[in-house]
């Protein structure tokens, strides 16, 4: 059996590497659209990118509308700026939302005006697109190295998972100094997102030897360093380790895919507007408890990687220790309860239960749960949703 393994053309990583951006983008375009959010502008991160572009004699325009979970409307607004300003390449700066938005703008810019992004559902996006640079400001999504973008279809109230080789950024710039401004809650949510990527990639039906290497390395780094970053956001060494771990996890799931957690997470985000990393985190223990049954050895290996089991621990005991550890770990980094998240958005447990049927259908429609070794039925997915309370 052969494997395909895809990564960006180039990865630039290390503390302060944004200063070295210029030579890597010479000749890639004549005017850049920087896709970011208002926070990045306010705290000076966008200015750092503009300065790097200026050194390369490349003008730019900023679109800072990617302030929330990306929607088709946010993408359309950014695409309008790209076209009106006559840009010819894209720089994504931020967490998953700006990067997903930038990816969508990049490939939609090649299409006739008026093309709806939902027309790319269930299609492989493979076309010549503008040069795309991705600069993550959180250690979590791994979007800087992946072939996917998640955009909400506001008309149908669905989070669309769109993908193809064209979406992979050509250049990933992983500079942990950009993550230093991330508050503790964002650090935790994005860090758990990266942990989910690594765990799901390692236990996916599509896992391969190269993805295993990246996934286990990411799990070990995240388990050690995320609590440090959560408690002390200025710890440069831990921030660098988390940035590398998120990159590794992104590479792993880009090639091995995600499984049940992400499949069940997207409907929660779409219907209740809960941040992606947080919805992953609240699902992780219950989903893992379900998944270990038919993939015990792999989950046992993760437990040993985390240091909560050793080579003498029977596989099933080790796998159960892993579930206990991810439960404890999420609490350590302050992941809220589902009830509190719903209440914050003006929703209740009853509102959540009223959507169980749709959420289960949407989870299965995404295809991600089917990558789990123990493939869940719709009824089993509904039961897992109920276990969150």
For 271-310, the pLDDT digits (tens) are: 998 988 999 999 999 999 999 999 999 999 999 999 999 9
Residues of the chain with CATH 3.40.50.1970: 10-179
**Exposed/middle/buried for 375, CB within 10 Å: 0-12, 13-18, 19+?**
middle
80: which 2 tokens? Answer: 């309008």
Q: What is the predicted pLDDT for the residue at 271?
A: 92
pTM value is: 0.91
Tokens at 353, concatenated:
């239960």
What pLDDT does residue 114 have? 92
Alpha carbon distance 30, 28 (integer Å)? 7
**CATH 1.20.1090.10 spans which residues of the chain?**
182-386
Residue ranges of the chain whose pLDDT lies below 70: none
Neighbours of 24 (CB within 10 A): 16
Q: Compute the radius of gyration of the chain from its Cα atoms.
A: 20
* pLDDT (0 to 100) of residue 245: 98
* pLDDT 10s digits, 340-365: 999 999 999 999 999 999 999 999 99
pLDDT in the model for residue 380: 98
CA distances in angstroms from 286 to 143, 191, 341, listed in the order given: 25, 18, 17
CATH entry, 182-386, from 3.40.640.10, 3.40.50.261, 1.10.3720.10, 1.20.1090.10: 1.20.1090.10
Tell me the fold of 10-179. Rossmann fold (3.40.50)
Query: Of 144, 230, 181, 202, nearest to 319 (Cα)?
Result: 202
| Residue 370 and residue 161 in contact, taking contact as beta carbons nearer than 8 Å | no
Phi, psi of 151 (to 5 degrees): -125, 135
Contact criterion met (CB below 8 Å) for 309 and 298: no
Within the chain, how many helices (H) and strands (E) appear? Answer: 16, 8
Q: Which residues pair with 153 in a beta bridge?
A: 158
Residue with tokens 């991705």: 134
Give the position of tokens 């955009």. Answer: 151
């Amino acid at each position: 059996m052969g494997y395909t393994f895809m990564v960006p053309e180039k990865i630039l990583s290390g503390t302060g590497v944004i200063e070295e951006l210029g030579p890597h983008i010479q000749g890639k375009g004549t005017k850049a659209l920087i896709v970011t959010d208002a926070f990045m502008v306010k705290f000076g991160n966008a200015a750092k990118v503009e300065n790097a572009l200026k050194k390369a004699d490349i003008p730019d325009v900023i679109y800072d509308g990617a302030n929330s979970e990306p929607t088709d409307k946010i993408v359309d607004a950014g695409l309008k700026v790209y076209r009106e300003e006559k840009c010819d390449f894209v720089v994504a700066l931020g967490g998953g939302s700006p990067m997903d938005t930038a990816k969508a703008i990049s490939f939609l810019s090649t299409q006739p005006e008026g093309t709806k992004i939902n027309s790319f559902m269930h299609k492989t996006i493979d076309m010549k697109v503008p040069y795309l640079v991705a600069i993550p400001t959180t250690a979590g999504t791994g979007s800087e190295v992946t072939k996917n973008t998640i955009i909400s279809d506001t008309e149908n109230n669905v989070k669309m998972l769109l993908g193809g080789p064209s979406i992979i950024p050509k250049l990933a710039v992983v500079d942990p100094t950009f993550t230093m401004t991330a508050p503790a809650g964002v650090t935790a949510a994005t860090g758990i997102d990266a942990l989910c990527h690594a765990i799901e990639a390692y236990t996916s039906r599509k896992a391969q030897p190269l993805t295993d290497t990246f996934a286990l390395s990411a799990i070990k780094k995240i388990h050690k360093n995320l609590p440090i970053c959560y408690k002390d956001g200025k710890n440069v060494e831990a921030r660098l380790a988390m940035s590398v771990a998120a990159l590794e996890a992104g590479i792993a799931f880009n090639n091995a895919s995600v499984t049940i957690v992400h499949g069940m997470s997207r409907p929660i985000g779409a219907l209740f507007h809960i941040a992606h990393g947080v919805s992953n985190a609240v699902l992780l223990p219950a989903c893992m408890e379900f998944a270990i049954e038919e993939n015990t050895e792999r989950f046992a290996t993760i437990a040993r990687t985390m240091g909560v089991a050793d080579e003498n621990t029977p596989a099933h005991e080790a796998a159960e220790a892993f579930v206990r550890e991810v439960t404890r770990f999420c609490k350590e980094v302050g992941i809220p309860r589902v009830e509190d998240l719903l209440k914050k958005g003006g929703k209740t447990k009853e509102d959540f239960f009223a959507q169980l049927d749709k959420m289960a259908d949407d989870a299965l429609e995404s295809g991600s749960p089917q990558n789990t070794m123990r493939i869940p039925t719709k009824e089993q997915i509904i039961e897992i949703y109920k276990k969150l309370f």
